[in-house]
Amino acid sequence: MIYELRTYWAAPGKLEALHRRFREVTLGVFARHGMEVVAFWTTVNPTPESGDLIYIVRFSSEEAMKNAWDAFRSDPEWVAGRAASEEDGALVAKVTSVMMEATDYSAMQ
């Protein structure tokens, strides 16, 4: 299994709109393309370095991850949902992505 840790920094004043887009559009499109979300988090004491929204997605392989993201990015529901949610400006200022594998001593094995 491959895990992807994604951290989002919301544009100023856009965090609630970002949460709404995940709830109303993104999660359904993720599911349609086999993208299994492990969990979402927000930071307790946010700093400029911490980000605002953090989540982990699980994939069977790097190839599955690439294929899922390619399909997600071109999905008509996602394209339309993103455009509608950004009528008043971008919701995201920055995104980072880290691919991870569980260690042999991890409880996830």
Half-sphere exposure in the Cβ direction for 58 (13 Å, CA) = 9
Is pLDDT of 109 > 70?
no
Domain covering 2-100, topology: Alpha-Beta Plaits (3.30.70)
pTM over 0.85: yes
Domain spans of the chain, in order of start: 2-100
Task: Quick: pLDDT tens for 14-65.
Answer: 999 999 999 999 999 999 999 999 999 999 998 889 999 999 999 999 999 9
Please state, in angstroms and rounded to a whole number, the distance separating the CA atoms of residues 59 and 71. 14
Sorted by sequence, the CB contacts under 8 Å of residue 66 that are 6+ apart come out as none
Q: Could you give the 3-state DSSP secondary structure of residue 45?
A: coil
